[in-house]
Amino acid sequence: MKTLLAVLLVVLLGSLAWPASAPAQAQTTFAGRTITIIVGYPPGGGYDVMARLVARHLGRFLPGNPTVIVQNLPGAASVVAANQVFSAARPDGLTVGAVNRNLVLGQLVKAAGIRFDMARFAWIGSPATETTILALRADLPYRTPADLRRADPAPVIGATSVGGSTYDFPLLLKALAGFNLRLISGYRSSGDIMLAIERKEADGRAGSYSSIKAFIDRGLVRPLVRGFASVPAIERLPVDEDLVGDPRARAVMRLRSVPEVVGRPFLLPPGTPAEIVAAYREAFRRMVADPEFEAEAERAGFELKYTPGDQALRTVQEVLNAPPDVVRVFSQFFRFE
């Protein structure tokens, strides 16, 4: 009983002290509130780790220093979570979505189950970019794109499933840039492909630079081509769209790459008041520049680069307004999942 009283006392004192420490100039204040970040994936993956990292720090930068928690709502490559944030969450700034960067491509090719419009979310932006690269085993004689066009027999490229970036990036290189590749899909995870490369079942794979980096550093694989979005360490790699002459093929490759600029999308429900959106964008901008956040993000393997909400929204509109002939070719190669 005594401990219960003590706890009550602490809670009471805490709730009295909290609003007092909030900045007085803020119009919007989240003092004493709890913000929930809904992640579209189960615990442990890249999106989840980023959301938990943001949850640890975001509170310090929002007016009123609210508590931020993470809730996992996995399912259908985060379509379930996006549907929830789009139509079920209240636009009061207390629910934030952290979803798949490729949802906009899913909307473009009219994938099943999507009941949201990416252009109507109130975009906070993205704290990081993701870059897709193609890497092959370093003991193989392939060093340039030209080597891969001439390759015989075709190197085996392992992929997880049809629709992931491990699959569609090499598929476009094969179909549009004339690379001679043999794609084998069905591996359970990118880690399993890496192991297949170690035992020479596969010769290489595509995937995010952050997930392959350790194996490049160890000398197992060598990067050959990158997508449009980039980070300084691989700035000088050949870009996929520069390897094709046809403007439509270029546009198709660009379409695949563009969402990677907005690598880790964070968004609010449609109709969220402008001042709340502004408070979030400002908080993210300051958070990404914060040394403590930077240090932890770097250890977790993220390539920090804040893409503000208005810019993210423009990117989304650019994708959704792609010319119909480009979309038609793109849909032949891309399968949302």
Partner 1 sequence: MLLEAFVGALFEVLRWDALSFMLIGVVAGFWVGLLPGLGGGTTLALMLPFVYRMEPVAAFAFLLGMHSVVSTTGDITSILFGIPGEGTTAATILDGHAMAKRGEAGRALGAALASSLVGAIVGAGALLLAIPVVRPLVLTFGSPELFMLAVLGIAFIASLSGRRPRAILRGFLAGTLGLLLASVGQDPQAGHFRYTFGSLYLWDGLDLVPVLVGFFAIPEIIDLAVRGTAIAGEAPRGRLGGVGVGVRDAFRHFWLTVRCSLIGTYIGVVPGLGGGVAQWVAYAHAAQSVPPAERARFGHGDVRGVLGPGAANNSKEGGALVPTVAFGVPGSSAMAILLGAFLLVGLTPGPDMLTKHLNVTLAMVWTIVLANVVAVGGSLALLNHLARLTAIRGSLLIPILALLTFVGAYTANNSPADVVAMLFFGGLGYLMVRYQWPRAPLVLGFVLGEIAERYLWISVARYGAAWLARPVVLVLIALTAAVIASTLVQYRRAAARERSP
Question: Which parts of this chain interact with partner 1 (CB under 8 A)?
Answer: 42-44, 48-49, 52-53, 56, 71-77, 79-80, 83, 112-113, 156, 160-163, 184-189, 191-192, 194-196, 198-199, 201-202, 214-215, 217-218, 296, 299-301, 335, 337
CB neighbour class for 204 (10 Å; exposed up to 12, middle 13-18, buried from 19):
buried
Query: Measured from the CB of residue 273, what is the shortest distance to partner 1 in angstroms?
Result: 27
Which residues have a Cβ under 8 Å from the Cβ of 158 and sit 6 or more positions away?
A: 166, 184, 185, 187, 193, 196, 197, 201, 202, 204, 205
Nearer to partner 1, 63 or 164 (CB): 164
Nearer to partner 1, 77 or 108 (CB): 77
Output DSSP code: residue 129: E
Query: Measured from the CB of residue 52, what is the shortest distance to partner 1 in angstroms?
Result: 5
Query: Measured from the CB of residue 254, what is the shortest distance to partner 1 in angstroms?
Result: 23
> How far apart are alpha carbons 120 and 313 in whole angstroms?
9
Nearer to partner 1, 50 or 249 (CB): 50
> How far apart are alpha carbons 219 and 198 in whole angstroms?
11
Nearer to partner 1, 99 or 156 (CB): 156
Query: Measured from the CB of residue 268, what is the shortest distance to partner 1 in angstroms?
Result: 20
In 258-323, alpha helices (H): 274-289, 291-299, 309-320
Nearer to partner 1, 228 or 302 (CB): 302
Helix, strand, coil share (%) of the chain residues, nearest 5: 50, 15, 35
> How far apart are alpha carbons 127 and 266 in whole angstroms?
8
Q: How many CA atoms lie within 13 A of 152 on its CB side?
A: 1
Nearer to partner 1, 19 or 42 (CB): 42
Structure tokens at 276: 């709340």
Query: Measured from the CB of residue 156, what is the shortest distance to partner 1 in angstroms?
Result: 6
Query: Measured from the CB of residue 164, what is the shortest distance to partner 1 in angstroms?
Result: 9
Query: Measured from the CB of residue 146, what is the shortest distance to partner 1 in angstroms?
Result: 26
Helix axes 274-289, 46-61, angle to 10 degrees: 100
Nearer to partner 1, 119 or 183 (CB): 183
At 120 the three-state DSSP class reads helix
- 303-308, strands of its sheet edge to edge: 67-72, 34-39, 95-98, 266-268, 122-129, 303-308
Query: Measured from the CB of residue 189, what is the shortest distance to partner 1 in angstroms?
Result: 7
Are 257 and 102 spatial neighbours (Cβ–Cβ below 8 Å)? no
Nearer to partner 1, 70 or 229 (CB): 70
